[in-house]
Chains A and B, each alone.
Chain A
């Protein structure tokens, strides 16, 4: 149980275009979803936290107009990279949880590899 999927698994786009990444909790309703970015040989960097029906909370240094997050339902969150540029190329990972305690487990998607040409 507790499976999280992401779509697409990889995407290549031209500079200036926008790309949408979906994150779905397949067998549970997620109270909170998280978006991370992972650079090569670096740790996961939390970009934003989103709750269904409310605005996402972005981490310091993350441009909210650049990385649009929509959490439309308890099982779906989307991340849109607007006007993508080569420096946005990265591995984007989402996670979801159905608990509210700090010890509750986050369930991770397999990630989406974005390459901007």
Chain B
């Protein structure tokens, strides 16, 4: 079946540091790939997505590239801020009622 693997964390970074959260997947067919973010006390919200190979999703300074050859969708940001502290979920969807498979979530803590 479909699966998503990401580092659990927590990841602790200083403000303005470079962020990478790795995400790899296994799926049948050609999935759509997503990063969702969950800020403390809030629901998950879409951060970015990519729907086909070599697509780059970007939002709020975050970006991730759909790499079919390595089945990866790593999340990056050049300079994190304290306000980026949250849990980040990598996910994929393979159609059919849009069933979404989530990774375990990576907690990011950015310290001033």
Q: Which of A42, A57, A95, A101 sits near B104, CB closer than 8 Å?
A: A42
Please name all residues of chain A whose beta carbon is closer than 8 Å to the beta carbon of B89 when the two chains form the complex.
43-44
Q: Are A108 and B44 in contact (CB under 8 A)?
A: yes
Shortest Cβ gap from A52 to chain B (Å): 13
- List A36-69 residues whose CB lies under 8 Å from chain B: 41-44, 46, 49, 57
Contact check, A111 vs B99: say whether CB atoms are below 8 A apart. Answer: no
Q: Which of A64-103 contact B (CB under 8 A)?
A: 93, 95, 97, 99-103
Contacts of A110 in B (CB 8 A): 41-43
Q: List 29 A-B contacts (CB under 8 A).
A: A6-B43, A32-B97, A41-B104, A42-B104, A43-B102, A44-B44, A46-B99, A46-B100, A57-B97, A93-B43, A95-B44, A99-B98, A100-B98, A101-B95, A101-B98, A102-B31, A102-B32, A103-B49, A103-B51, A105-B34, A105-B46, A105-B49, A106-B46, A106-B100, A107-B45, A108-B36, A108-B43, A110-B41, A110-B43
Query: B: which residues have CB within 8 A of A?
Result: 4, 8, 31-32, 34, 36, 41-46, 49, 51, 89, 93-105
